[in-house]
Amino acid sequence: MSTGLIIALIVIVAVVAVAAALLMQRSRGSRHGVGLKRRFGPEYDRAVARHDGDTKAAERELAGRVERHGDLRARPLEPAERERYEARWTAAQERFVDSPGDAVAEADRLLAELAGARGFPDGGQYEEQLAALSVHHAHHVEGYRRVHRVAQARAHGAHDGGAGTEELREAMVDARALFDELVRTSRHDGGRHRAAHDGEHRAPAARGSRMPSLLHRRQAKES
């Protein structure tokens, strides 16, 4: 076999090897992206939009969140803690009728405290707390984002964060979804706590459903 033929064969093998490596890397990256999209759901789309459509940059950000917070194991709440949080949320919902902005600000504070109590980063580190929550509760963090945005705007002097009553109500409803996720008994808490929570959780849910009817009564009174 001539030297030229040997060199040609070596070049061909090298090109094939490089092409196979690239295809494997692309396939692995595609599976990685699909996994992130499945895990983060709407948060994936928000990350892509925030990075102006750059999916690679968005996936790097989301992968970083998983690396930092993926191993977090939420601390279970004691029954008395759960009751206190549920009572505070019910009070905030009832306050919404007369003072929507104050109720939304209280919901923001309550979610920050509750997430901290469950073992997520402290509420003083809002961005990092939100990032950690998005890893474990991706489909429900938007409500927290909305009430926090209103609370921050009010803190800087904007009346009710510049939002209308209906927008505030929707923010409270969305935030309630994350509250329910966080206050729910973890599967690691044991059967005794789970059984106790089942009875507690149904009652606040029923109380929570009063908010639209309370708003309806207020609107009827004003008309």
User: Which residues, at least 6 apart from 157, have a Cβ–Cβ distance to it below 8 Å?
Assistant: none
pLDDT in tens, 194-218: 443 344 444 334 444 445 444 444 4
Q: Using an 8 Å Cβ cutoff, are 186 and 196 in contact?
A: no
58 pLDDT exceeds 90?
A: yes
* Mean of pLDDT over the chain: 80
| 223 or 10, greater pLDDT | 10
Which of the given ranges, 15-19, 79-83, 185-189, 218-222, has the highest pLDDT on average? 79-83
User: Model pTM?
Assistant: 0.69
Instruction: Tell me what the mean pLDDT of segment 84-108 comes to.
Output: 95
Q: Which residue has the tokens 């973890």?
A: 186
165-183 vs 79-95: helix crossing angle, rounded to 10: 170
Token readout for 177 is 């979804």
Using the Cα atoms of residue 134, residue 137, residue 142 and residue 145 in order, give the sign of their dihedral.
negative
pLDDT in tens, 115-163: 999 999 998 899 999 999 999 999 999 999 999 999 998 888 877 666 7
113: Cα separation from own chain's centroid: 15
**Entry field: residues in the chain:** 223
* Start-end of H helices in 70-164: 79-95, 100-117, 126-136, 141-155
23 pLDDT exceeds 90?
A: no
Of 136, 127, 150, give the one whose Cα is nearest residue 187: 136
